[in-house]
Amino acid sequence: MTAVTSSYPTTKVGELLREIPRTARSDMRVPVRIYADDELWRQIADDRSVEQLVNVATLPGVVGHVFGMPDIHEGYGFPVGGVAAMRESDGVISPGGVGYDINCGVRLLAAAMDLDEARPRLEAAVHDLSRSIPSGPGRNPRLDLSTADLDRVLEEGCGFLVERGLALPEDLERLEAGGALPGADASRVSGRAKQRGHDQLGTIGSGNHFVEVQVVDELFDDAAAEAYGLRRGQLTVLIHTGSRGLGHQVCTDYVRQMDQVMAQYGIRLPDRQLACAPLASPEGQAYLGAMCAAANFAWSNRQAITDAVRTVFGRAYGPSGRLRIVYDVAHNIAKLETHGAETLCVHRKGATRAFGPTHPETPGPYRAVGQPVFIPGSMGTASYVLAGTDAALGLSFGSTCHGAGRVMSRGEAKRSRTGAEVRRELEGRGIIVRCPSSGELAEEAPTAYKDVERVVDVVHRAGLARKVARLRPVGVVKG
């Protein structure tokens, strides 16, 4: 991959914080701030993510700073790991600032039992998961939705799945936004998007998406762990996926539309993929309604997968296999939030909301400790449970990282290791692996990612979130 090395003037304004001033480029409206230690900064400066943050800082109505999280890497338009907030009154909304996988996110389930109890039937259970949950380009014939039902998923989110028997009523209070964003408008989602997504509810997809069985390996914050219902040795399941083809098409449709109308609003951008429209414009409102609908589809997708995991665990372990949702967080989304006296449209692209104990949107059960945040590591490495902090509101619009962050292209990853080698290495560490393609296994090799422990350490030390627990993988079903 071509090394770029950022040429923008950068000031270190704290041990873990660097700033690119507003004057670094004439079209910037706000400065850029990036959270990283020296090692992560070296990696960040070697791709185009800094330039992409600077481009985001040119968007109309952007306020405060544009932030880069420590897992940031080059994307398209927005970098992955970028946060930007625009005024509701005169700012824009950018489909490219959310990305194609609208509401890609992570859900953690906690089992009643510990790994020791689960181990004798674990391989069979992981195999059953791989057969029960379609992955890759797979569809889900058991959940082929009628147009009317798909519209209800889009507008009601997980609430509709309670009615369909795929969710428990108590699940809803442990989902970001209750698993349904207000303002979702199915009529703003194109027929093409619905055609791509109507039979994809309950599917993992491909790329870095997965369902992973894990064990709670270490606790860092006993009080928060207790509030989240986590204990050392406990079995957990982490689900990472998003809105599938439906969300991809919503983004395609609206990037195209906004690319064509931007000039009418006098908007000129350094990158066409940042295509945007004023939030208050007809195009902005249409995208917001469609994006919220796609976000609801994504929460429902993770809910349908949750139902499948519960069925598999029930088959394998009986009542001991029951699973409780700890929480579900989005990491590709734009949300209207109150920050100080203003309503802002906060774009988080590869970044996770991390509200602290006093924030009104932190769910009731977690008010004492802050909302849970889940940071999946690369395949085969540890994942982390963090707790949101009140300080993060002032540091990053209440945002933190979303994963380890890639450092190696997919092609480079495949050239450096074969899928068989990656599989042998994971199995050698006692991790059960199910993946439809060896090539995809190689693309997601741990060496293709940054060190998640370093990323999480920066987040913790910078005060963006605090460490609660480490989860070690014991079984992976890769998309």
Residues belonging to the active site: 402
CB atoms within 10 A of CB 163: 10
Which tokens in the block code for residue 106?
Answer: 């992570």
Position among 71, 151, 171, 259 found at the interface with other proteins (CB under 8 A): 259
CA distance 417 to 181: 41
Nearest to 98 by CA among 262, 298, 386, 317: 298
Position among 31, 61, 70, 74 found at the interface with other proteins (CB under 8 A): 74
Position among 40, 387, 407, 465 found at the interface with other proteins (CB under 8 A): 407
Q: Which one, 414 or 466, has the nearer CB to other proteins? A: 414
Tell me how far, at minimum, the Cβ of 440 lies from other proteins, in Å.
8
Which tokens in the block code for residue 286?
Answer: 């249409």
Which tokens in the block code for residue 49?
Answer: 């993510």
**In this structure, are residues 242 and 103 in contact, taking their beta carbons and an 8 Å threshold?**
yes
DSSP 77: S
CA distance 152 to 370: 31
Residue 72, interface with other proteins (CB under 8 A)?
no
Nearest to 80 by CA among 101, 106, 63: 101
Q: Which one, 225 or 262, has the nearer CB to other proteins? A: 262
Among positions 82-121, residues that touch other proteins (CB under 8 A) are 96, 99-101
**In this structure, are residues 323 and 237 in contact, taking their beta carbons and an 8 Å threshold?**
yes
Residue 406, interface with other proteins (CB under 8 A)?
yes
Q: Which one, 14 or 270, has the nearer CB to other proteins? A: 270
Among positions 330-369, residues that touch other proteins (CB under 8 A) are none
- Build a one-symbol-per-residue string for 164-203: x at contacts with other proteins by CB under 8 A, - elsewhere: ----------------------------x--xx-------
Q: Which one, 68 or 356, has the nearer CB to other proteins? A: 68
Q: How many residues bind other proteins (CB under 8 A)?
A: 48
Residue 451, interface with other proteins (CB under 8 A)?
no
Tell me how far, at minimum, the Cβ of 332 lies from other proteins, in Å.
12
Among positions 271-310, residues that touch other proteins (CB under 8 A) are 271-273, 275
CB atoms within 10 A of CB 144: 13
CA distance 241 to 331: 10
Residue 260, interface with other proteins (CB under 8 A)?
yes
Residue 249, interface with other proteins (CB under 8 A)?
yes
Position among 130, 206, 214, 241 found at the interface with other proteins (CB under 8 A): 206
Q: Which one, 8 or 220, has the nearer CB to other proteins? A: 8
DSSP 288-306: HHHHHHHHHHHHHHHHHHH
- Build a one-symbol-per-residue string for 409-438: x at contacts with other proteins by CB under 8 A, - elsewhere: xxxx------------------------x-
**Amino acid letter, residue 246:** L
Helix and strand counts by DSSP (H, E) for the chain = 15, 19
Residue 229, interface with other proteins (CB under 8 A)?
no
Q: Which one, 190 or 343, has the nearer CB to other proteins? A: 190
Among positions 134-163, residues that touch other proteins (CB under 8 A) are 136-138
DSSP 175-242: SGGGG--TT--GGGS-HHHHHHHTT-TT---STT-EEEEEEEEEES-HHHHHHHT--TTEEEEEEEE-
CA distance 295 to 68: 23
CA distance 311 to 317: 10
Q: Which one, 74 or 212, has the nearer CB to other proteins? A: 74
Q: Is 465 helix (H, G, I), strand (E, B) or coil?
A: strand
Residues of this chain that interact with other proteins (CB under 8 A) are: 1-2, 4, 6-7, 47-48, 51, 73-77, 80, 96, 99-101, 136-138, 192, 195-196, 206-207, 245, 248-249, 251-252, 255-256, 259-260, 271-273, 275, 406-412, 437, 439
